[in-house]
Amino acid sequence: MVMSMGEMYSYVGSTVATLMFINAIIQQYFPFHIRGYIERYGQKFVSTLHPYVKITFDEFTGERMKRSEAFSAIRNYLSAKSSAHVKRLKADVVKDGQSLVLSMDNNEEVTDEFEGVKVWWTSRKIVPEKQFSLPWYPASDGKKYYSLTCHKRDRKLITESYISHVLKEGDAIAARNRQRKLYTNNPSENWYGYKRTKWTHVVFEHPSTFETLAMETKKKEEIMKDLIKFSKGKQYYSRIGKAWKRGYLLYGPPGTGKSSMIAAIANFLNYDVYDLELTTVKDNTDLRRLLIETSSKSVIVIEDIDCSLDLTGQREKKEEKDEEEEEGKDPVRKKDKEEKKQSKVTLSGLLNCVDGLWSACGEERIIVFTTNYVEKLDPALIRRGRMDKHIEMSYCSFEAFKVLAKNYLYIDTHPLYEEIHKLLEETNMTPADVAENLMPKSEEDDEDTCLKALIEALVAAKEEARKKVEEEARLKAEKEEKGKEEAQLKLEKKEEDKEESPKENGEVH
């Protein structure tokens, strides 16, 4: 008898289903010790009739019954395959999220094909017969597992290629559905209380993207390329023997988009964000503890680094010396100072965290420092290799303005653009201020009104800057004049002293 492929598959499908049915009956009606015999001899018998291999994937594995990553990946993979075909689906709300995951219900079957080979997946759950439950020890939900059946002749392909394909695809689906998080560190002193968490998180939903970011296209593309190279660089980093991380320093005046850039980076790479507030970290050890708890695929942000860290080490050291002499006499004061000292993260502590040995634990991390005053930073902090890329966020250029106009007013060009172009070249205005002016203030405001408002603001800013320059020049001239007068007075006094001195000398002798 010659079977068509379709017939063979339906035969195999029905055989598998029949066997499963028999198996279910055995499980249900035969006592445990007889079940063992039946299963053992049954399997021998079946394997001659049934040239198929079955692989099972339990939900919980190992001694500690950890949730199996393979099980979750398979669930994601199958949910994508099954939601269109399977009749009975189970809906789950994923952890922390509002998103729904549909997976095949127990005893449902899904067929999949890989390189021309067919396989069958079934979802199973074994519920224990006798359940023991207490309020503080709820009854088990049963043992869930997926089983994969394939023909014996395809065993090699399935075990060597197909399963890893499923796991990879499942992980990719999970990454796509994942809700990203924004973490903030809890102050060190709260770590040891009831909750004992170092990081608190909320769902990260920031609308900033590289598309909405107002800056020169060339600069933007360069950063995006750098990020892509980094995120795909696992092998590259391990080959050159460097930890898989990258440091960015974003600097520029307030309102030029440093924080927006961080959000755009996280959205672009689909990473979590850890917003690290250094001032509430007690010391270097706590800083290390915090960073060790960050996960890979994340952006670790330290905003306003110049304010969070005391970088004026030199001056402080000198003052400390003087104070130490005083403290020798006053033990209470000494203790106070020691406590204060302990509650500080030092520059070297931070540097150790950025490029010390431990930072290689965990991978795929971007560290971003921001500052308004790059010139204030210690060169040790920003040297190349530590901060791989320095990005200047500057005042709004015409190109950046065009991005904002497109975002806010949905326009690419306008007769007023020429005037705005000229004004932006003559005046410094941050993208935040430009954006504020472009925002319609009432429903009647159209693009003309908004652009005119921006022109007005630019003219006012230009006028203000001119006045400021004038005022500064005036003050400088005044200072110089005063300096001259003082010098003149000094000179005169010296002359007078000279005239008087022979007399004095005379008096002494």
- Least separation in angstroms between residue 192's CB and ligand ATP is 32
Q: How far is the CB of 491 from ligand ATP (least distance, A)?
A: 48
List CB contacts of 469: < 8 A, sequence separation 6 or more.
none
Give Cβ neighbours of residue 122 (< 8 Å, ≥ 6 apart).
Answer: 16, 20, 107, 108, 109, 110, 146, 147, 149
Contacts of the segment 85-88: beta carbons below 8 A, 24+ positions apart: 85/110, 86/110
Closer residue to Mg ion, CB minimum distance, 250 or 353: 250
Alpha-carbon Rg of the chain, whole angstroms? 35
Task: Indicate the residue among 169 and 304 with the shorter CB distance to Mg ion.
Answer: 304
Is the Cα torsion angle 15, 114, 155, 124 positive or negative in sign?
Answer: negative
Instruction: Provide the minimum distance between the beta carbon of 425 and ligand ATP in the complex, in angstroms, as a whole number.
Output: 17
CB of 211 to ligand ATP, least distance (A): 10
**Closer Cβ to ligand ATP, 381 or 391, answer by number:** 391
Identify whether the C-beta of residue 363 lies closer than 8 Å to the C-beta of residue 236. Answer: no
User: Please, which residue, 181 or 258, has the CB nearer to Mg ion?
Assistant: 258
> To the nearest whole angstrom, how small is the minimum distance from the Cβ of residue 259 to ligand ATP?
3
Please give the residue ranges that form the binding site for Mg ion (CB under 5 A). 258-259
SS3 state of residue 373? coil
Residue 437 contact partner, candidates Mg ion, ligand ATP, none, CB within 5 to 8 A by sort of partner = none
Nearer to ligand ATP (CB atom), residue 108 or residue 303: 303
Sign of CA dihedral 339, 344, 348, 350: positive
Question: Which CB sits closer to ligand ATP, 19 or 403?
Answer: 403
State how far the Cα of 293 lies from the Cα of 188, in Å rounded to an integer: 14
Q: How far is the CB of 383 from Mg ion (least distance, A)?
A: 23
257: partner contacted, choices ligand ATP, Mg ion, none (Cβ within 5-8 A by kind): ligand ATP
**What does 215 bind: Mg ion, ligand ATP, none (CB cut-off 5 to 8 Å by kind)?**
ligand ATP
Contacts of 399 (CB under 8 A, 6+ apart): 215, 216, 217
Given ligand ATP, Mg ion, none, residue 435, with its beta carbon under 5 to 8 Å by kind, binds ligand ATP
Backbone dihedral region of 305: left (phi > 0), alpha (psi from -120 to 50 degrees) or beta? alpha
- Partner from ligand ATP, Mg ion, none binding residue 397, C-beta < 5-8 Å depending on class: none
Chain residues binding ligand ATP by CB under 6 A are 212-215, 254-260, 372, 393, 431-432, 435
Q: Least separation, in Å, of the C-beta of 253 and Mg ion? A: 11
Closest approach of Cβ 104 to ligand ATP, in Å? 44
Answer yes or no: are the C-beta atoms of 58 and 66 closer than 8 Å: no
Which is closer to ligand ATP, CB of 76 or CB of 260?
A: 260
Residue (279 or 342) nearer to ligand ATP, CB: 279
Q: Which does 256 bind (CB under 5 to 8 A by kind): ligand ATP, Mg ion, none?
A: ligand ATP
Of the candidates 128, 81, 143, 129, the one whose C-alpha atom is nearest the C-alpha of residue 108 is 81
Q: In this chain, which residue has its C-beta nearest to Mg ion?
A: 259
Q: Minimal CB distance to ligand ATP: which residue?
A: 257
Instruction: Please identify, using beta-carbon distances, which residue of 74 and 213 lies nearer to ligand ATP.
Output: 213
We find the least distance from the C-beta atom of residue 239 to ligand ATP, in angstroms, to be 35
The 3-state secondary structure of 331-349, one letter per residue: HHHHHHHHHHHHCCCCHHH
- What distance in Å separates the CA atoms of residue 54 and residue 257, rounded to the nearest whole number? 56
Q: What does the alpha-carbon distance between residue 131 and residue 139 come to, in Å, rounded to a whole number?
A: 6
